[in-house]
Structure 1
Amino acid sequence: MRRRMNRLSVLFLVFLWSLSLVPSPSAAPAPAATELPDPRTMTFPAPAFQPPKPERQVLSNGMILYLLEDHELPLIRMEVIVKTGSIYEPADKISLAGLTGAIMRTGGTKRHSGDEVDEIIDQMAADLSVGIGADAGGAWLDVLKKDFDAGLALFADILMNPVFEEEKLQIAKNNAIEMIRRRNDRPSSIASREFNKQIYGADNPYGREATEETVRSIVRDDLVAFHRKYFVPNNIMIGVTGDFDKKEIIAKIEKAFAGWKKKKIDFPEVPSVVERKDGGVYAIARPITQTQIRIGHLGIKQNNPDFFAVSILDDILGGGGLTSRLFSDVRTQRGLAYSVGSVFRPGNFERGVFIAYGETRVDTTHQAISTILDHIRKIRREPVTDEELKRAKESFLNSFIFSFSSPAQIVSRKMSLEYYGLPSDFLERYRDNVAKVTKEDILRVAKKYLHPDRLVILAVGDDGKFDQPLSSLGKVTQIQLTP
């Protein structure tokens, strides 16, 4: 035992002696220091933008197809755009378009009841939906490749042959009425809805709202007639992306929609929006601690040649998040609002809207509104800085490519361009047009499209506790909410 311990001691001494022969790190020559560039001064070329181009086909019945193969996963996605919308529904039947889209999905077809449709979709682990908005209708199908034939048959059946089961219609009407009864529960919803009515007019299709009476007046025959009028093949575009063969899928689509004949559609005339010649101050009294603010006026259409400069203008003013002027000043510097910003939302068939918005404490309402107004006036008076323009353009150009991260997004964008009558190369020219925007352009469009004298100023809050009366901003009109 003692002899073994002696051997271990000798080995340990040899180990220590060997360590003494190894040069210490401090003795090693220091590597030459490499000076790294300041990341704030580094520049990179814009990422290449060369998205794949979908193929466009027109079937014999007038239906337009956009096709883009993607064999990465065994999935197929179909997106439908229908020229329809709530702008075409009668004034005494507001909600007809939305109910038509909803019950197309839930209310069964000539082959399957609504409950059977649900079961079939669940068995395929598919996703199928239908909806109709203000100026467009849509339907979507996501299905595994192995189930595509069955999914397509069901999809076509829903588009062509909905029966609008009375029971499902009554459920949807009851839900819609309940939403109407509760729509004054959220101050932000009140502000946006009432602001929209002031901009577009309470009787215009873009500004009107449903009531219990308009919903109750809608019957099954109204849905049948609305569907029959607008859901025809020559009024529809279908985009298909995923794991398919082009020739094979065209044949399948033609077979699925066989017998669906084209028909001429007489679209109702939609009254043009009458632009206000002056602004106004509006207050909606609610016993709340946070005031909802909306400030703005009519905007532009997306086909406006100044669309790109206006987009950069909005990014600098309030649309650019943390770096925008409104956020930096109203929230970060002054602490007047948790939520603040602006949106220059372009329209398509009708002009869009410019909105500056905020949510502030009731006792800083006037100060927050005044500060937002000051920034709107200032950006019309003085050029933006080089840094602001550079940051806004880089943000647009660097994020633009992520709008086309999937074939489905690419096809959807291409269909939307055709639907709204925009140039087919709008997206390809987007980055170049943004890159060309100058400080002079920003000042020019700010003076042209921002009108402080026409601003609608709307506040939802406890006006008795405001830091200053809104009357200092102009004559105040009190809006009484309908239940």
Structure 2
Amino acid sequence: MKKYIIFSLLSFFMTVSYAQIDRSKQPKPGPAPKINLKEPVRFELNNGLKVMVVENHKLPRVSMQLTLDNPPILQGDKAGVSDLTSSLLGKGSKSIPKDDFYEEVDFLGANINIGDQSAFASCLSKYFPRILELMADAALNPNFTQEEFDKEKDKLITGIKSEEKDVSAIANRVQLALAYGKNHPYGEMTTEETVNNVSLQDVEQYYRNNFVPANAYLVVLGDVELDKVKELVTTYFTPWSKATPPSFSYTKPTDAQYTQINFVDMPNAVQSEVSVQNITNLKMKDEDYLDALLANRILGGGSQARLFKNLREDKGYTYGSYSSIRDNKYSLMRFSAFAQVRNAVTDSSVVQILEEIDKMVNEPVTDEELKNAKAKYSGSFVMALEKPETIANYALNIETEDLPKDFYKTYLERIEAVTITDVQKAAQKHLSTDNIRIVVTGKGSEVLENLEKVEFKGKAVPTLFYDVYATKTEKPDYEADAPEGITVEAILEKYIAAIGGKEKLEGVSSYAMLAEAEMQGMKLELEMKKTTKDQFMQDVKVMGNSMQKQVLDGDKGYMVAQGQRKDLSPEEVTRIKEESAAFPELNYLSAGNITLEGVEPVSGKKAYKLKITDKKSSFYDMETGLKLQEVNTEEVQGQQMMNTLEYSDYKEVSGIKFPFKLSQTMGPQNFEFIVKEIKVNEGVSASDFE
């Protein structure tokens, strides 16, 4: 009976309790949780190095992060010296050769990276004393040698050359140069010329001037004891001579005088790079810092943001459109909204991005948008707390950005407290639609006509023209007609005569070519063989290993890619036959379907454009007659991709001129092949096409 009464009472209370809960309404969120971050213990050496130690004994690991909080460094006519300094640091020290240094670090299962303004190391806690010693030795006593300098300089120049036709790389450097000015550290350009100005002595001087302890912070995090850290740091870093970095004066970034389009012509572009940008002044310690981050998140912070939904999901102009706002205590910075869009919709994309920014400034965001943005930031913040390097960065930010000690402890509370009004005020302060700079890098012959018709707020947006180095230039002339009387046959005959004459070319039954290129520090080899019997072999090797091979022997053939062989389809056989001709212009003379499209600039020269097929065009120098470029349009994974091959540095072999420099660009990839050997009527056998 007693049990029955008890069960009845429980049932009654549960029923009453359930009845008082309205399940149709979402529960109200509780207060934002407090974040408990362990406070680092601080001490300072006499030379100015500030050290922070955070003990965490959960795992037997330690990380060390050295940061030089120096103002931006202007490199001037020796731009590239910082890159070279970074690449030479961390290769041993004056007391430990590079190979021995690498071997010991690997043996201990550790990691050490050193840059021109930083150093980082991580290891098991039992190896902490030795790894700290190695990091300090390599950072403070670098072994700069002429041999290593020459290697790294060659790599840097090779990288610069590989970006000569890279639309994204050029777009990025022009956007920065126009935003900050070329006499600002964030806008100056590293070129082959500036790198060639740098000597080993310049690297040594740059290091002595800027790798100094005045603004240096060392954060040690992990399974360590404070007293031991203090002892080791004092031992290994006290020899670091006390010094302060030099001060620089440079141009102050400013917005454009009026809203304008800055256009950079890239004839090989298959899509346009669009960046709508303005200058802003945002620091982490500002009261509206989090407001600005949330405004940017709502506008262009991911797949749930307005730009993405508009340009991708609604319009289908791009695979993604985003925005970014940057903070910096030393300099004014750049807000930008950007996208890579199809040529045909470049002008429409510009208008849509401008309208989304304008809407962000002039209209309040919705409750749902703000709620989602807060959730995203809060989630990212909590997830980041699991990483030890995050704690180190937070401790460093509090020191270097002059933040309140509880900046991160109250982070979630302050995120939650941001209102719709706060977001709109931040957008009005940091985003602009009045003096905004729209930088478009793309194929002018396809996009410029409509781009020059763009209007915003009822006014035409003027277009100014810049070259790939952000220097003002004239509008490209895409309407140039070929001189009267010039025919396809005349252009082809001039080319044939320029390289040796019809009789010489018809006397060639085969030729073999060997060329080399650099790819991320590795050697890329290209071997090609052709005959007049519809035989063709092309083999691309990386470090001596075949990566891609095509073979054609009459009406059959195959291709091999990464070890997988595939027979050529009839369509592929036909296409490769067209490419396999030793001198295809001999065949073009009788083709009858080739048309003269006009005159276009190619590498600073005026060239006749011949349309060979719907997917292929060739360009011939108006002055010399030599072929300058071929452009093929291919479909790759449903996307139109332009493959550009430039010819230069013609040299004579067996009475015929061949290009000894082949620059190939496909999408973001750019390879510069230097021909090492060409053999005419020798070096080719039937076995090459088996």
- The question of a shared fold, defined as TM-score above 0.5 by the shorter chain, is answered with yes
CA distance in 1, matches of 2:61, 2:145: 31
**CA shift at 1:39, angstroms?**
10
Q: What is the Cα-based RMSD across aligned positions, in Å?
A: 2.6
CA distance in 2, matches of 1:329, 1:184: 32
Contact 2:32 2:412 in 1 (8 A): no
CA distance in 2, matches of 1:222, 1:417: 34
Aligned match of 1:53: 39
**CA shift at 1:411, angstroms?**
1.7
Aligned match of 2:416: 435
CA distance in 2, matches of 1:375, 1:235: 41
Correspondence list, 1:67-216, <5 A: 67-84=53-70, 87-106=72-91, 108-132=92-116, 137-216=117-196
CA distance in 2, matches of 1:236, 1:409: 18
Identity %: 27
Structure 2 residue 447 is matched with structure 1 residue 478: no
CA distance in 2, matches of 1:264, 1:348: 18
CA distance in 2, matches of 1:197, 1:291: 18
Q: Secondary structure at the match of 2:408?
A: helix
Cα distance per residue 1:138-188 (max 9 Å; x no partner)? 100112222222212211111211121111111111111111112234322
CA distance in 1, matches of 2:26, 2:339: 31
Cα distance per residue 1:316-350 (max 9 Å; x no partner)? 1111x122111122211222221101112222311
Q: Secondary structure at the match of 2:438?
A: strand
Structure with more relative contact order (C-alpha pairs < 8 Å, separation 6 or more): 1
Give the letter aligned to residue 479 of structure 1.
Answer: Y
Alignment length, in residue pairs?
445
| 1:38/1:300 CA distance change after superposition, 3 Å | farther
Correspondence list, 1:261-280, <5 A: 261-280=241-260
CA distance in 1, matches of 2:369, 2:81: 46
Q: Secondary structure at the match of 1:427?
A: coil
**CA shift at 1:234, angstroms?**
3.5
Which of residues 395, 405, 411 in structure 2 aligns to 1:414? 395
Contact 2:252 2:332 in 1 (8 A): no
**CA shift at 1:428, angstroms?**
3.0
TM-score for the superposition, normalised by structure 1: 0.85
Contact 2:273 2:442 in 1 (8 A): yes
Structure 2 residue 292 is matched with structure 1 residue 310: yes
CA distance in 1, matches of 2:26, 2:349: 33
Aligned match of 2:578: none
Q: Secondary structure at the match of 1:61?
A: coil
Cα distance per residue 1:227-246 (max 9 Å; x no partner)? 22233334321110111111
Structure 2 residue 236 is matched with structure 1 residue 245: no
| 1:291/1:264 CA distance change after superposition, 3 Å | closer
TM-score for the superposition, normalised by structure 2: 0.61
Contact 1:349 1:420 in 2 (8 A): no
Which structure's residues are more often helix, by fraction? 1
Cα distance per residue 1:414-457 (max 9 Å; x no partner)? 21332244444332343333222222222223223222121111
- Structure 1 regions of 5+ residues with no counterpart? 1-31
Aligned match of 2:210: 230
Compare 65-74 and 464-473 and name the one that shifted more.
Answer: 464-473
| 1:210/1:38 CA distance change after superposition, 3 Å | farther
Which of residues 269, 279, 284 in structure 1 aligns to 2:264? 284
**CA shift at 1:212, angstroms?**
1.2
Q: Secondary structure at the match of 2:104?
A: helix
CA distance in 2, matches of 1:442, 1:233: 39
Cα distance per residue 1:66-113 (max 9 Å; x no partner)? 10112222221110001347x32441211112221221112x322012
Give the letter aligned to residue 289 of structure 2.
Answer: F
Give the letter aligned to residue 96 of structure 1.
Answer: V
Which of residues 257, 272, 277 in structure 1 aligns to 2:237? 257
**CA shift at 1:271, angstroms?**
4.0
Contact 1:281 1:457 in 2 (8 A): yes
